[in-house]
Structure 1
Amino acid sequence: MIMMLNQARSNQTYWHCYHNPALLARVLSVVQTRHLQSAEVELHIDLYRQRDKTAPVLILNHGGGGYGGLFVGLALAFYEQGYTVIVPDQKGQGRSGGEMGDFTVAEAVQNIVDVAAWARQEFNGLLYLCGGSIGGGLTYAAAAAMATQGKPPVAAVCLNLFDFGDPVTGLAFTRFAILAKIPGLPKVCRTIIGLLAKLTPGMRLPYRPLARFENMMDERDLAMDFYAKWRADPLTLRTVTARYLASMLDTAFAIPLEENSQVPVLVINQKRDKMIKPQLTLDCYRRLSGQKAYAEIDWGHFSLQPEFNNELIALGEQWLGKRNINSP
């Protein structure tokens, strides 16, 4: 459900500590805040708005360990390339409403779909989706859902691609990836966690031990003390509910990877990723049908370095630019 957007009421500015003063000043000079009702809560949206309503529109989706405040460098870089950039915090995460850590994959997908519907009401430019980490999988999931409604985005860019309907890949991006290699065990885990979610959907489980968040960055970001700042961030997840965990293993895409035909997808993989094995994204890419492209970058799972953003911008611009030629 889409309702009227209002000006921001949040004064939570912890995310400022991740970014240098020069970048922060540039961001604060252009970023606006909106709120949108979706999945029964009010979403917080960072908006980098071009004056030209026909400018291309990019919705940038965060992963499970972050929120829009961590992505301001990438958002600003796309904005400075001429895009209107929309960065929503998903339900139960960051500055959005809902109990922190209590949401499902389906609700996160609905958040993106609702934001896309609002963007099409507000702006006239071509619409693209982009996301990283779990947000890469959510980006494809939302694009597929939009395609079933006859309203696909022009293209999608997925920094990582995971299948939330497959318990093998669902386990593989956690700290317990070794369990995914045991035949039959992923389905058993899905059944057990699904039963737990039905019996006690609000049961709280520790989130940070689920993945190797200490390996989120490679050595180029170590001097920034990112991990210490991230651990102290009041807006990053510490626990999640059983229903969230169950949804990560049993939420099929509206259009399976093998049946995609409507959404052109660029998949970007990180060669230095020690948090999630790059092979997982590569396996999902190989299953993907339709117009697609694949690129590898010499980085870890995530970075705040300008060079990281520049590589993503270059790859994204090349892919999205090609899609413009054949788009109405």
Structure 2
Amino acid sequence: MTINKAHSEQTYWHCYHDPALLARVLAVVQTRHLPSTGVELHIDLYQQANPAAPVLILNHGGGGYGGIFVGLALAFYEQGYTVVVPDQKGQGRSGGAMGDFTVAEAVQNIVDVAAWARQEFAGPLYLCGGSIGGGLTYAAAAALASQGKPPVAAVCLNLYDFGDPVTGLAFTRFAALANIPGLARTCRAMSGLLAKLAPRLRLPYRPLARFENMMDERDLALGFYAKWQADPLTLRTVTARYFASMLDTAFAIPLEANTSVPVLVMNQKRDKMVKPQLTLNCYQRLSGKKDYVEIDWGHFSLLPEFNAELVNIGEQWLASLGNPDL
């Protein structure tokens, strides 16, 4: 697997961050490009001098890309991790038509990045992700485990099951429809048929979910939503095949069958974008070594206090696993 050191020229993401944070990020972040699923992925790399440092792959959700979450990446880097932040296919600064991808391709992107990280670095491998990226993180960990190569652990800020149309539909603005018996499975069948007939038919993305509630009032007061709406690298439309994949992409290892990967699930009590009960339901189905923490935040945040809390909780939990490298 080859990789090059080309640098992205797309820097809109700078506007989300204060100058002091941005200066710290730009002093350490590197760019890599990696082939995966027929395109070239953009990777932000925060590399420790010690090649045996623990490696954390940080996975974004459907409303963002790596450049938005540099504060969290830097917070883990400053705790001694080599942090790898890929933009998934058709999102952010990675290749492919914007919005034209599937859940399975996003999972494969993470699996490919994990394979590259294991070639480049000697430290133990961890996966982390939030929002849709929380579900993708478990999905990738399960895929790696099914190959006999599980990560040491996975940390999921939100956990969603893309193979269950009830939870897949509940993630959207139309969550109430998931309560009507049989309707979620009907939606899965209809979306699957549409994806076969017109796989690249464009559907408006932002009306699908309550993105206005992606952050709580603390971030909104700083003007995040207006910046996000104007961001040229965030999704505006997605293809029919993407929407269908959100309702019908089973995990390689179902939640109930997990035995190989310790999983920490964090859930946001103030989340008004996706009901916290959805993550709790998925956590309760999860087998194997696991833990659950509720935090007093909305769906996501860029504030340093949020990043510090996530790092602190994650560090304490990973240390409880008894890994001598932490």
Shared fold per TM-score greater than 0.5: yes
Q: What secondary structure does 2:321 align onto? A: helix
Alignment of 1:210-225 (within 5 A): 210-225=208-223
Q: State the alpha-carbon separation in 1 of the partners of residues 311 and 225 from structure 2.
A: 24
Tell me the CA shift for residue 36 of structure 1: 0.2
Q: State the alpha-carbon separation in 2 of the partners of residues 136 and 317 from structure 1.
A: 17
| Equivalence for 1:29 | 27
Tell me the CA shift for residue 8 of structure 1: 2.5
| Equivalence for 2:80 | 82
Tell me the CA shift for residue 205 of structure 1: 0.1
Q: What secondary structure does 1:65 align onto? A: coil
On the 8 A contact 2:7/2:32 being kept in 1, the answer is no
Q: State the alpha-carbon separation in 1 of the partners of residues 214 and 133 from structure 2.
A: 14
Q: State the alpha-carbon separation in 2 of the partners of residues 8 and 297 from structure 1.
A: 38
| Equivalence for 2:202 | 204
| Equivalence for 1:131 | 129
On the 8 A contact 1:89/1:95 being kept in 2, the answer is yes
On the 8 A contact 1:49/1:85 being kept in 2, the answer is yes
Supply the RMSD in Å over aligned alpha carbons. Answer: 1.1
1:185 equivalent among 183, 190, 208 = 183
Task: Give the partner amino acid of 1:243.
Answer: R
1:66 equivalent among 48, 58, 64 = 64
Task: Give the partner amino acid of 1:255.
Answer: I
Tell me the CA shift for residue 221 of structure 1: 1.0
2:294 equivalent among 264, 280, 296 = 296
Task: Give the partner amino acid of 1:130.
Answer: C
Q: What secondary structure does 1:9 align onto? A: coil
For the pair 1:39 / 2:37, whether they are aligned, the reply is yes
Q: What secondary structure does 2:264 align onto? A: strand
After superposition, give the CA deviation of every residue in 1:91-116 in whole Å (9 maximum; x if it has no partner).
00000000000000000000000000
Q: State the alpha-carbon separation in 1 of the partners of residues 81 and 8 from structure 2.
A: 25
Q: What secondary structure does 2:221 align onto? A: helix
Q: State the alpha-carbon separation in 2 of the partners of residues 320 and 56 from structure 1.
A: 11
- Fraction of identical pairs, as percent: 81
Q: State the alpha-carbon separation in 2 of the partners of residues 8 and 322 from structure 1.
A: 39
TM-score by length of 1: 0.98
Alignment of 1:312-327 (within 5 A): 312-325=310-323
For the pair 1:101 / 2:88, whether they are aligned, the reply is no
Tell me the CA shift for residue 324 of structure 1: 4.2
Task: Give the partner amino acid of 1:102.
Answer: D
Q: How many residue pairs align between the two structures?
A: 326
Tell me the CA shift for residue 7 of structure 1: 1.3
Q: State the alpha-carbon separation in 2 of the partners of residues 275 and 9 from structure 1.
A: 34
Tell me the CA shift for residue 322 of structure 1: 2.2
Query: Runs of 4 or more off by more than 4 Å in structure 1?
Result: none
Alignment of 1:202-281 (within 5 A): 202-281=200-279
Q: State the alpha-carbon separation in 2 of the partners of residues 243 and 48 from structure 1.
A: 33
| Equivalence for 2:171 | 173
After superposition, give the CA deviation of every residue in 1:67-105 in whole Å (9 maximum; x if it has no partner).
000110000000000000000000000000000000000
For structure 1, the residue ranges without an aligned partner over 5 or more in a row are none
After superposition, give the CA deviation of every residue in 1:237-271 in whole Å (9 maximum; x if it has no partner).
00000000000000000000000000000000000
Task: Give the partner amino acid of 2:245.
Answer: S
Tell me the CA shift for residue 326 of structure 1: 7.4
